[in-house]
Amino acid sequence: MTRALYSLCGADPQNFFSPHCWKAVMALAHKGLSFEEIPTTYARIRQIGGGFSPTVPVLEDNGRLVSDSFAIALYLEEAYPDRPSLFRGEGGKALSRMVEGYSQMVVHTAIMRIALLDIHAVLDEGDKAYFRESREQRLGKTLEEIAADREAEKAAFPAKLEPIRHMLKFQPFIGGESPLFADYIVFGAVQWLRVVAGLSMLAADDPVMTWFERCLDLHEGRGRTMTAA
């Protein structure tokens, strides 16, 4: 049995920083499945399975390829039903899309504006040009223009996590008493920020930090294999 996860890396092949790849890593660890994490630059994504997907993560499980972190979680839930559940039922599966919506549309957009130049800095030379061109086209500004608002974005960041603080008044994880894929969705975003730019904008006693530290402890401290920026 071979199982591999193609995961985005920087110039340092052990610098795994992508939020979406971290979601897949934590989903595999949650299911207790061993896998090799294969460092993949943007330029090499197109070589996976002869151009199977324009993005990573891509999971290769016994010859089957699955791309997209949410699709990987759904695949793992179906393929390994006897392992710990990532969703705990159909309601959890459906509502995870709403958590993804919050994470991507609120948390990711803020992190992008905070850490764009930091992300650019960790990429290898070939990827730097691709990243600059694609992001500047998507956002309609140069990376430096976006980074000019960085301090204001950092100051505004803690307030954007209020939905998480509300939830934490009732339970230790988004999944309830124990984590589910929904936790890994938000964990991936915060881990991304931690790895590329650090979490200095969050107070140590912020309940979100307490939850995040709990997530870093999961699965033999898998999240701690990357150090903070």
The residue (of 60 and 100) whose beta carbon lies closer to a copy of itself is 100
Both tokens assigned to 154: 């950092």
Pairwise CA distance, residues 28 & 33, whole Å: 5
The yes or no reply on residue 102 touching a copy of itself (CB under 8 A) is yes
Number of residues that bind a copy of itself (CB under 8 A): 34
Site for a copy of itself in 29-68 (CB under 8 A): none
The yes or no reply on residue 187 touching a copy of itself (CB under 8 A) is no
Both tokens assigned to 168: 């934490």
The yes or no reply on residue 101 touching a copy of itself (CB under 8 A) is yes
Give min distance, CB of 167 to a copy of itself, in A: 4
Give min distance, CB of 78 to a copy of itself, in A: 15
Q: Which of 51, 44, 34, 49 is nearest to 10 (CA)?
A: 44
The yes or no reply on residue 7 touching a copy of itself (CB under 8 A) is no
The yes or no reply on residue 221 touching a copy of itself (CB under 8 A) is no
Give min distance, CB of 14 to a copy of itself, in A: 32
Pairwise CA distance, residues 213 & 221, whole Å: 10
Which residue among 12, 144, 145, 162 contacts a copy of itself (CB under 8 A)?
Answer: 162
User: In degrees rounded to 5, what are phi and psi of residue 187?
Assistant: -55, -45
Pairwise CA distance, residues 30 & 86, whole Å: 7
Q: Which stretch binds a copy of itself (CB under 8 A): 24-32, 50-58, 96-104, 139-147?
A: 96-104
The yes or no reply on residue 90 touching a copy of itself (CB under 8 A) is yes
Q: Label residues 79-112 b or e (16+ Cβ within 10 Å = b).
A: ebeeeebbbeeeebbeebeebbebbeeebbebbb
The residue (of 91 and 221) whose beta carbon lies closer to a copy of itself is 91
The yes or no reply on residue 214 touching a copy of itself (CB under 8 A) is no
The yes or no reply on residue 96 touching a copy of itself (CB under 8 A) is yes
The residue (of 147 and 167) whose beta carbon lies closer to a copy of itself is 167
Pairing mode, if any, of strands 3-8 and 36-40?
A: parallel
Pairwise CA distance, residues 217 & 208, whole Å: 14
Both tokens assigned to 213: 């530290």
User: In degrees rounded to 5, what are phi and psi of residue 60?
Assistant: -115, 115
**Given the rule CB under 8 A, which residues bind a copy of itself?**
85, 87-102, 104-106, 162-167, 170-171, 173-176, 180, 182
